[in-house]
Structure 1
Amino acid sequence: MKRHLGVACLAVCLALAPIQPVQALTVFDPSNYSQNVLQAARALQQINNQIRSLQNQVLMLQNMAKHLERLDYSSLGAIQAALGRINLLMAQAEGIAFRVDRTEQEFARLYPKEYAATVTTDELARDARGRWEHSMDALRQTMLVQAEVVQNVEADSGELARLLAESQAAIGSLQAQQATNQLMALSTKQQLQTQELVAAQYRAEALERARAAAAQEQARAQFDRFLGDGKAYTPLD
C-alpha cells in the first residue's frame, strides 16, 4: 500500500515540475566544410590571376612607353646648315654658272666655234681675258667647295660617333629608329656634298678645256688677220 502511494507521489511531482527546453547541439559536417574551403581557395586563385594580369598589363604599357619615347638628340640642324653652306658656294659661281640658260649664253659668247673675218684684235683680247677669268673663277670655287667638304667631314666624324652612341643607348624602338634615320641622313648629306664637289671639279676642267680650244680658234683668227688678203704689200714700179 505504501509502495503504491510513493509511486503516485513521484508521478505528481514530475507532472508539476516545470518543463526545461532541450538545448540545440552543434553538428560538424566535414563534407560541407571541405566544399567551403575549396571555394575559398578557388576565389583566392582567381584574385591572384587578376593581380598577375594587371601586373602584365602595367609592364606592357611601360614597354610601350619606352618604345614610343623620342630621341633627345637631333643632327638635322647641323646637316642642313652644312648643305646650305655648300649650296651657297655653288650658287656663287660666276661666268659659266650652274644654270642651263646662263651657261648656254656665256659659252656661245666667249667660246665661239669660229670667229668672223671682221673680228678685231680688241675683241679677241677681250674674249681671251673673259675665258681666263672664267677658268680662274671655276678653280677658285672648286677649292672653296673642297675646303668646305673637308671641314664637313671633320665635323661628321664627331657627329657619327654621337649618333652611334645614341643608337646603342636607345631604350626603345622609336629611339633606335630615329637614330638610324639620322645616320642615314648623315650618309645622304655626305653623298650630296660629294656630288657638289664633283660638279665643281668637272666645271673647272671643262672650262679649262674649252679655253684651250677657244685659244686655238683665236690663234687661227689672229693668223688670218695677219695674213689678210695677201695684198698687204704692193711693190713700187
Structure 2
Amino acid sequence: MKARALFTSLAVVLSVSLLAIQPVSALTVIDPTNLVQNTLTAVRTLEQVNNQVQQLQNEAQMLSNQGRNLANLDFNVVSRLRASLARSEQLIAEAQGLAYDVQSLDSEFARLYPDEYAATVSGDQMYRDARERWEHAINGLHTALRMQSQVSHNLGEDESALADLVGQSQSATGALQAMQATNQLLALQAKQSIQAQQLQLTQDRAASLELARQAAASQRAREVRRRFLGEGTPYTPHAVQFYGY
C-alpha cells in the first residue's frame, strides 16, 4: 500500500510538472488520468509479481521440508538383534536331557520320574534311571549357565546398538527418520524382553529338573527299602536260651 501511494503521488507530481513546463500547444498530448492509471497498473503488477515470488519461495521451502521428512534412515540394527537372539535360541536347541517338546517331555518324564516303581523294575534299572536323572539335572544347570554367559555377552552388543540408535534419533533430519529410529529402539526393547524370557526359561528348567530328581530319589529310596524289608512279617528279636540257661 505504501508503494502504491508513493507511485500515485509520483505520478501526480510528474503530471503537474509536465503541465507546468510544456508549451500550450503540447498540453493536448498529455493525459494525466491515463498516466496515473498506467502507474497504478504497474504498481499492482509489481505487487502480484512479488506475491507470486513469495508463494514460490514458500512452496520450495515446503517441498524441502517434505523431502527431509520423507528421507529414509540409512541405519538398521534389526539384523544385529536377530543374530543375537539366534545365538540364544541355538543354546536352547542344543540343550541336552529332557526335550522342550511337550509330547516328548511327557513320555520321558513318566518313564524317569514315576509315581511308584513296578515290581518288574529291577534294581539295576532303577540305578540307571537315577543316573539319567542326575545327568538331566546337570545338563539343565549347564544350559542355564551357558545362557547366562550369552546374555552377558549380548548386553554389551545391546548397549552399543542403543548408543547408535540414540545418536541416529537425535540427528534425524525428518519425521520419517525419527520414527524409524524409534521403531528400532522398540525392537531392541522387545529383543531384550525375549532374551530375559529365554534366560528365565533355562533357569526355571534347571531348578525344575533338580526338584524332580530329588522327588524321584525319595521314591527310589522308599522302593529299595520296601524290597529290602520284603512283604512278610518283619523280624522280631527275642531272647534265646542255650543249654537250659
Same fold (TM over 0.5): yes
Q: Distance in 1 between matches of 2:144 and 2:53?
A: 70
**Is 1:109 matched up with 2:111?**
yes
**Which amino acid in structure 2 is aligned with residue 81 of structure 1?**
A
For residue 32 of structure 1, what is the aligned residue in structure 2? 34
**Equivalent residue for 1:186?**
188
2:163 to 161, 164, 168: 161
Matched, 1:46 2:48: yes
Amino acid at match of 1:179: A
Structure 2 counterpart SS, 1:152: helix
Cα deviation, 1:189-228, whole Å, max 9, x if unaligned, reads 0000000100111000001000000000000111112122
Tell me what 2:84 maps to.
Answer: 82
For the 8 Å contact 1:95–1:106, the answer to whether it is kept is: no
- Which of the pair has more CA radius of gyration? 1
CA offset at residue 48 of structure 1?
1.1
Provide the C-alpha distance between the structure 1 equivalents of 2:26 and 2:233, rounded to a whole number of angstroms: 160
Q: Structure 1 length normalisation: TM-score?
A: 0.85
Alpha-carbon contact 1:115-1:221 (below 8 Å) kept:
yes
Q: Distance in 1 between matches of 2:81 and 2:50?
A: 54
Q: Identify the range of structure 1 (26-35 vs 164-173) with the bigger mean alpha-carbon deviation.
A: 26-35
Aligned to 2:70: 68
Counterpart in the other structure of 1:219: 221
2:60 pairs with 1:58? yes
Q: Which amino acid is the alignment partner of residue 133 of structure 1? A: E
Structure 1 residues 35-67: Cα deviation after superposition (integer angstroms, max 9, x where no partner): 000001101111111111111111111110100
1:173 aligns with 2:162: no
1:8 aligned residue: none
Q: Which residue of 2 aligns with 1:122?
A: 124
| Matched residue, 1:16 | none
Structure 1 unaligned runs (5+)? Answer: 1-22
Q: Deviations over 1:9-45 (max 9, x none)?
A: xxxxxxxxxxxxxx98752121110000000110111
Amino acid at match of 1:181: N
**Equivalent residue of 1:117, what SS?**
coil
- In the TM superposition, residue 93 of structure 1 has moved relative to its aligned partner by 1.9
CA distance in 2, matches of 1:204, 1:103: 14
For the residues of structure 1 that align with 2:93 and 2:104, how far apart are their CA atoms? 13
Shift of 1:231: 7.6
Which amino acid in structure 2 is aligned with residue 194 of structure 1?
Answer: A
C-alpha deviation, 1:117, in angstroms: 2.0
Compute the displacement of 1:74 (Å).
0.5
Aligned residues: percent identity? 49
Instruction: Specify the SS of the correspondent of 1:202.
Output: helix
Contact 1:135 1:208 survives alignment (8 Å) = yes
1:103 to partner: Cα distance:
1.1
The residue type paired with residue 226 of structure 1 is: F
Q: CA deviation at 1:76?
A: 0.4
Residue segments in structure 2 that go unaligned for 5+ positions in a row: 1-24, 236-245
CA distance in 1, matches of 2:27, 2:176: 72
Aligned pairs, number:
211
Q: What displacement does 1:232 show?
A: 10
Change over 3 Å in CA distance of 1:142–1:153 after alignment to 2: same
Structure 1 partner of 2:93:
91
One-letter code of the match for 1:34? V
